[in-house]
Structure 1
Amino acid sequence: MKTRAITGFFFIIVMLGSVNAGDYVFGAFYLLLCLLCLHEFYGLNIKSGIKPNRAAGFITAALAFTGFALINYASMSATPAAEQASVWGHRLLFLLPVSASAILIQELFKIESEPFTNIAYTILGVVMVCIPFSFFVALAYVLPANAETGHNLHIPLGFLLMLWSNDTGAYLVGRFLGRTKLFERHSPKKTWEGFIGGVLIAALVGFIISLYFTELPWNQWVSIAIIIGCFGTLGDLVESMFKRSINIKDSGGILPGHGGLLDRFDGFLVAAPLVYTYLYFVANV
């Protein structure tokens, strides 16, 4: 428990520090996390007998993430640096067909009984891991530009705070009040009481955040919290289902006491794209 607490404390400090850093540090840090999570995903596949084309998958993920990050950064201003970032972002995206083709070409030179299974899981890793991280970084640019930094970090910061409060609330309420199993087949410890408690606590944190981060009204912050609570839990259940299908407890061991990075970001991977979609289409920011 002590190791878990120490790891969790430093993990939170690093995450919050990265969100409050400049554009390029912010983007580079989450690119690193994206690739580490993808490495764990491919590692789990290998343990189950699947052989993803990791090199091509990593290159495809890095191109997609960096290209979208540069384009989002460029959307905040019309400076020469931003225009150059936009140019490079589009160039990287136009390289995606080349790297995606490499996934197919690599399989041609292998002697495998199920080549399309390897191809499918290689692409699935990019979709499940890279795209959500890209959407999370894009949250910093979905609001009007900040005059000093060129981006607004309140949304990704608030996202993390509500995500963690949902996880903590679900754990505490489920531990003391949990009676009715949520999806026992995939996650025996999760309960409906814990799920509802986590959503309510995240909503409360969202309301508190609205008092300090006034770019959005309180009802939109609370709506974001509900999205995070519902779809963050879905992401957790999906990852548990995947790990159980291959008889693995933890996705890795990079975080002592917590397991792997995928274990920490499972809810994040489903919630981040949906929060961005909500802000872009529904909140009409």
Structure 2
Amino acid sequence: MKTRAITGIFFCVVMLASMLLTQEIFAAFFTLLSIWCTYEFYGIIRNEQQRPDTFLGLTVAAVIMTTSSFYLLGYIPGKYMLLSIPLVLAIYLKALFDKRSLPFNDIAITFLGILYVILPFLSFLGLGFIQGRFQAEIPVGFMLLLWTSDTGAYLAGRSLGKHKLFERISPKKTWEGFAGGIVLALVVGYFLAQNYPILPLELWLSMAVLIACFGTLGDLVESMLKRSLNVKDSGTILPGHGGLLDRFDGLLVAAPLVYILLKFMEL
């Protein structure tokens, strides 16, 4: 428990520092983070029936995240993001030379890693630049809402939880915990609106509900993935916590939806 607590505090400090320092550190940190999470995904999903092309998948992920980061930072024009297309085609081409009985399983799993991990991290990266220039308040607010909704769900579930949410997938999650996560996220959303007026109150509260609901869905989806593969953790890089993918499962579903919300509100 002590190791888990120390790792958790260190992890939160590093995360906040990466968002609050400079736009270059923010972009570089989450680019590297997304690539590592993709690597963990490929690692846990690989078996005899499905073998993702880890090298090409990670290369595509790196090119997408790097060119998108440079574009958002204003270093290159947007056309350079098209560089990932030849690499995407290379995944199909390589499958032609691999002597595998079910090549499309491998192709599908390779692309799934990009869609499941890279698209959400790209959305989160975009939150920092959604108003045309780097502003750390929105990604910081996103992470605070995600962490507090998890905390609220844990506390409410432990003290009040009686009705299981999806016992087959995650035996400890309850409807009471789910409600507690939403309530605490709304409270934090209110305080974010007072301290970060970059967004109006109604948007912070909308973000709170989205993150609490779909962050939980992301957690359940990753739990379903690991149960189907008989895997406990996605990795071992974080002592007491498992892998990085385990720590960002909520972001994988919530980030694209929050990005769409803010885009539709024409920020």
TM-score (norm 2): 0.97
The whole-number CA distance in structure 2 between the counterparts of 1:185 and 1:48 is 26
Other-structure match for 2:176: 193
- Corresponding residue number in structure 2 for 1:284: 266
Distance 1:39 1:58 in 2: 7
- Within a 5 Å distance, the mapping from 1:38-77 to structure 2 comes to 38-47=38-47, 49-74=49-74
Asked if 1:258 is matched to 2:247, the reply is no
CA 246–177 in structure 1, closer or farther in 2 if over 3 Å, else same:
same
Structure 1 Cα separation of the partners of residues 27 and 34 of structure 2: 10
**Aligned AA for 1:22?**
T
Rounded Cα–Cα distance in structure 1 between residues aligned with 2:105 and 2:190: 45
Question: How far apart are 1:113 and its partner, in Å?
Answer: 1.3
Q: What CA deviation, in whole Å up to 9, does each residue of 1:99-119 have, x standing for no partner?
A: 001111221221111110000
Determine whether 1:138 maps to 2:126: yes
Letter matched to residue 89 of structure 2: S
Q: Distance in 2 between matches of 1:212 and 1:100?
A: 43
Task: Identify the range of structure 1 (45-54 vs 249-258) with the bigger mean alpha-carbon deviation.
Answer: 45-54
Indicate the residue corresponding to 1:8 in structure 2: 8
Q: Which residue in the other structure is 2:215 paired with? A: 232
CA contact (8 A) 2:49 2:105 kept: no
| Alpha carbons 2:164, 2:175 under 8 Å: kept | yes
Structure 1 SS opposite 2:223: helix
Q: Distance in 2 between matches of 1:111 and 1:182?
A: 43
SS in 2 for 1:284: coil
Deviations 1:78-108 (A, max 9, x none): xxxxxxx232x422x2222210011112212
Q: CA RMSD in A?
A: 1.2
Report the alpha carbon displacement of residue 38 of structure 1 after superposing the two structures with TM: 0.5
Q: Separation in 2 of the partners of 1:236 and 1:90?
A: 35
State the partner residue of 1:19. 19
Change (3 A) 1:105 1:27: same
Paired residue total: 267
Any unmatched runs of 5+ in structure 2? none
| 1:262 CA drift (Å) | 1.0
Q: TM-score, normalised by structure 1?
A: 0.91
Moved over 3 A (4+): none
The AA in structure 2 aligned to 1:41 is: F
Specify the alignment match of 2:116 in structure 1: 128
